[in-house]
């Protein structure tokens, strides 16, 4: 059985093994030190100079924490909304009473930063770097340039990017960078990772969010005293620490190369099978997930690959549900053997329902894109 979806992903055995330990994160100073080391590794990976908070809850918690701590009723927020998560971010901000303006665009094209309004008086800009449901990577540099000319906070959902795609928060001026353990880190689901710049923290003091669980001011008060605001999900944190150590042991360059090659291989193989990728321009096709128009009813194909072959692929969400399928090549699964399993399983499923896909050619097309043997 293998999970080749865009998060949660397959989890390496070393990561799973490392969480099998009894630990009291509230009383063990060693655990607090490990947490700080983990935070340091994440900061380095995204070149961020603020603070890292690893919260118990999945990715959406991070998005909500970012809004809850920075936005007050009637604050102006610009949401880049050319995808399912971009739209969710806008809804979230509306839920907290913000006056939200959106920049929309087709889900299969990079957002056009020239459509962004004058950001004077805007409190924040929300942006999704990799739109997982569409397999789209948005042009963060273009958007960053516009945000930098203003005082607005730049809040970036990098949930499906960090660990598979370089993210340089300092040079892009990213104030809040949001990540999740089960995506390209290939760790267990259950942790939201929130990086917050000093500038954003100053805003948070002003906003003075009244809640407790996601309250960054409360986190700071507690971390400053060498403790957590509540008992953290210690075993998930142990797993994430191992997952990130493994990324560094391999080297970031190698990790990013594997992701690009996996994207290229998946797209080449799909094209050789007559399948049309959802994002037309490969420059904007995410290195962590490939979305494509399903050649047959996705439910039939997904059911066959999982129940008959033990290979889990994914459908999609929102307006793409029922039309688009996805292969995750994210974190640990961004490598040749997994990409080939995904392609072979999809081809076999199609052939089961009457297509005549040449599986060998598809696998050869994928193979050609890899420089490394494994």
Residues of this chain that interact with ligand PLP (CB under 6 A) are: 7, 58-60, 85, 128, 130, 132, 157, 159-160, 180
Residue from 37, 25, 55 nearest 216 by CA: 55
C-beta nearest to ligand PLP: residue:
59
User: C-beta of 279: minimal distance to ligand PLP in Å?
Assistant: 15
Residue closer to ligand PLP, measured from CB, 130 or 255: 130
Indicate left, alpha or beta for 7 from its phi (over 0: left) and psi (-120 to 50: alpha).
left
Rounded to the nearest whole angstrom, what is the least distance from the CB of residue 370 to ligand PLP in the complex? 25
For the chain, what is the largest distance between any 2 Cα atoms, rounded to a whole number of angstroms?
Answer: 64
Q: Tell me how far apart the alpha carbons of residues 244 and 71 are, in angstroms, rounded to a whole number.
A: 31
CB atoms closer than 10 angstroms to residue 145: 14
Nearer to ligand PLP, 62 or 295 (CB): 62
Smallest Cα–Cα separation from 94: which of 70, 120, 76?
Answer: 76
Instruction: Report in angstroms how near the CB of residue 6 gets to ligand PLP at its nearest.
Output: 7
Beta carbons within 10 angstroms of residue 95's beta carbon: 13
Given the complex with ligand PLP, which of 66 and 340 has the nearer CB atom? 66
Query: Which residue lies nearer to ligand PLP by CB, 40 or 319?
Result: 319
Burial 311-336 (b: 16+ CB within 10 A, else e): bbbbbbbeebeeebbbbbbbbbbbbb
Q: How far is the CB of 229 from ligand PLP (least distance, A)?
A: 20
Minimum Å distance from CB 191 to ligand PLP?
9
Q: Which of 102, 82, 73 is nearest to 90 (CA)?
A: 102
**In this complex, which beta carbon is closest to ligand PLP, that of residue 38 or of residue 286?**
286
Beta bridge partners of 178: 157, 194
Nearest distance, CB of residue 88 and ligand PLP, angstroms: 7
Tell me the closest approach of the beta carbon of residue 182 to ligand PLP, in angstroms: 6
Of 47, 240, 74, the closest CA to residue 156 belongs to 47
Q: How far is the CB of 13 from ligand PLP (least distance, A)?
A: 22
Identify which of residues 192 and 344 has a Cβ nearer to ligand PLP in the complex: 192
CB-count burial class (<10 Å; 0-12, 13-18, 19+) for 210: exposed
3-state helix, strand, coil in the chain (%, to 5): 45, 15, 40
Q: Would strands 2-3 and 99-104 be described as parallel, antiparallel, or unpaired?
A: unpaired
**Which residue lies nearer to ligand PLP by CB, 159 or 216?**
159
Query: Which residue, 192 or 275, is less far from ligand PLP as judged by CB?
Result: 192
Residues 6+ apart with CB under 8 A from 218: 212, 229
Query: What six digits make up the tokens of 342?
Result: 């995904």
| Residues in Cβ contact with 225 at an 8 Å cutoff, skipping those fewer than 6 apart | none
Nearest-angstrom CA–CA distance, 363 and 307 = 22
Which of 60/207 has CB closer to ligand PLP? 60
Shortest approach of ligand PLP to residue 256 CB, angstroms?
Answer: 18
CB-nearer residue toward ligand PLP: 159 or 267: 159
């Amino acid at each position: 059985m293998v999970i080749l979806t865009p998060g949660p992903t397959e989890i390496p055995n070393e990561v799973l093994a490392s969480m099998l330990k009894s630990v009291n994160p509230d009383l063990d100073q060693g655990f607090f030190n490990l947490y700080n080391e983990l935070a340091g590794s994440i900061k380095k990976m995204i070149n961020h100079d603020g603070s890292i908070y690893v919260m118990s809850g999945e990715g959406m918690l991070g998005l909500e924490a970012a809004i809850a701590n920075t936005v007050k009723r009637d604050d102006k927020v610009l949401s880049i909304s050319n995808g399912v998560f971009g739209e969710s971010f806008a809804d979230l901000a509306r839920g907290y009473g913000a006056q939200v303006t959106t920049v929309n665009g087709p889900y299969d094209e990079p957002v056009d930063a020239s459509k962004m309004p004058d950001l004077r008086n805007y409190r924040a800009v929300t942006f999704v770097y990799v739109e997982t449901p569409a397999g789209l990577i948005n042009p963060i540099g273009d958007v960053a340039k516009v945000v930098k000319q203003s005082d607005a906070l730049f809040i970036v959902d990098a949930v499906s990017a960090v660990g598979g795609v370089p993210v340089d928060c300092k040079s892009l001026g990213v104030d809040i960078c949001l990540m999740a353990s089960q995506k390209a880190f290939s760790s267990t689901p259950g942790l939201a990772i929130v990086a917050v710049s000093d500038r954003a923290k100053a805003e948070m003091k002003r906003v003075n969010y009244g809640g407790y669980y996601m309250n960054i001011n409360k986190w700071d008060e507690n971390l400053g005293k060498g403790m957590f605001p509540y008992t953290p999900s210690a075993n998930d944190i142990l797993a994430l620490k191992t997952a990130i150590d493994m990324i560094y042991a391999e080297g970031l360059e190698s990790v990013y190369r594997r992701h690009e090659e996996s994207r290229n291989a998946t797209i080449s193989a799909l094209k050789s099978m007559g399948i049309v990728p959802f994002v037309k321009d490969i420059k904007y096709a995410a290195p962590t997930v490939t979305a494509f128009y399903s050649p047959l009813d996705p439910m039939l194909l997904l059911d066959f690959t999982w129940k008959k072959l033990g290979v889990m692929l994914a459908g999609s969400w929102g307006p793409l549900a029922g039309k688009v399928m996805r292969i995750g090549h994210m974190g640990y699964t961004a490598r040749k053997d997994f990409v080939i399993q995904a392609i072979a399983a999809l081809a076999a499923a199609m052939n089961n329902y009457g297509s005549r896909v040449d599986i060998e050619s598809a696998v050869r097309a994928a193979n050609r894109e890899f420089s490394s043997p494994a």
